[in-house]
Amino acid sequence: MDRQVSALPTLGSRHVDPHNYPSGVAYLDGQYVPVSEAKISVLDYGFLHSDATYDTVHVWNGRFFRLDLHIERFFGGLERLRMSIPYDREAVAEILHNCVALSGHRSAYVEMLCTRGASPTFSRDPRDAVNRFMAFAIPFGSVANAEQLERGLHVAISNRVRIPPASIDPAIKNYHWLDLVRGLYDAYDNNAETALLLDFDGNVAEGPGFNVLTVKDGRLTTPATGVLPGITRRTVFDLCAELGIEAAATTVSVEALRGADEVFITSTAGGIMPVTRIDGAPIADGKVGPMTRRLKDLYWQRHEDPAWSSPVRYP
């Protein structure tokens, strides 16, 4: 396997502006290529029907964080969507290591994905399509920027309903993001920085790429259903179990959210991120709370812990 980016084939990049893409390396069709040259067909059902699943893991200071959990969730999605790829878990891990190593990034956003693919006859029968596995590593990115991480995000509650789990199982990590993206535009129109969507019953669900947690009287709660079972959210539960802090996945009403002592969101893209305003009103005193800070510090410390992280196999 060639691990040199400089030796990668060029794929006719005449019409591609490489500056339109973050720097990184992708794997598709058995090759590692610069991200700017990683292309899929317009006939791929992943693109035409959003018929795809994916997972995102991050690398921080040269180490993957909880890679095994991300690969496990990805394979769960493949199975439920009846997709198959010619790689087992170890081979996928190897490809992800290679993407990061070739990119040279010490902190990276690393995605593995599978699309339904295309069929030679443009058949309507999904069984005729040839599934396609791809992966890429680009620089680490966060839902919240440095300033927002310090002072807390300003969030707007969207009046759009998150796609219900009876329609699409949220445990299959997916690209059905139109509700989330439209929620984001609504949030920007309301001078907020990101959105929180509710479920069909009017309770809190999740936001564009993150779960939400509340702290009240030292207890944590997070929505139990209608959300992606986030690995960062799970990590918070694991940390709480170690610290003896009560944490429950349950129903979270909008009143409970607004009346919380602290609110934070969780994502592989950014970790534990404080929320200090909802619809313009401060959460408690409007400052980042002590529980959020404590969990956030611990979360990042654990990125050095061999029980939860593994070194990238750089050349």
Reported as type and span, the H/E element at residue 290 is helix 290-301
Residues in a beta bridge with 249: 222
Of residues 176-195, those binding ligand PLP (CB under 6 A): none
Q: How far is the CB of 205 from ligand PLP (least distance, A)?
A: 9
Region binding ligand PLP by CB under 6 A among candidate stretches 126-134, 146-154, 194-202, 226-234: 226-234
Work out which of 223, 230, 274, 289 binds ligand PLP, going by CB under 6 A.
230
- Closer CB to ligand PLP, 54 or 133, in the complex: 54
Q: How far is the CB of 30 from ligand PLP (least distance, A)?
A: 27
Six-digit token string for 103: 């990119």
Q: Is the Cα torsion angle 261, 267, 268, 273 positive or negative in sign? A: negative
The SS3 of residue 33 is strand
Does the footprint of ligand PLP cover residue 77 (CB under 6 A)?
no
Q: Cα–Cα distance between 305 and 233 in angstroms, integer?
A: 18
- Closer CB to ligand PLP, 87 or 175, in the complex: 175
DSSP characters over 215-233: EETTEEEEE-SSS---HHH
Work out which of 213, 228, 252, 291 binds ligand PLP, going by CB under 6 A.
228
Does the footprint of ligand PLP cover residue 233 (CB under 6 A)?
yes
CB 210 within 8 A of CB 171: no
**Closest among 143, 309, 308 to 238, alpha carbons compared:** 308
Site string for ligand PLP, 264-293 (x = CB under 6 A): --xxx-------------------------
Work out which of 51, 111, 206, 262 binds ligand PLP, going by CB under 6 A.
206
Work out which of 36, 53, 56, 98 binds ligand PLP, going by CB under 6 A.
56
Of residues 88-107, those binding ligand PLP (CB under 6 A): none
**Closest among 276, 195, 196, 264 to 235, alpha carbons compared:** 264
- Closer CB to ligand PLP, 194 or 266, in the complex: 266
C-alpha distances out from residue 292 to 152, 262, 288, 305, Å: 10, 7, 7, 20
Does the footprint of ligand PLP cover residue 67 (CB under 6 A)?
no
Residues of this chain that interact with ligand PLP (CB under 6 A) are 56, 206, 209-211, 227-228, 230-233, 266-268
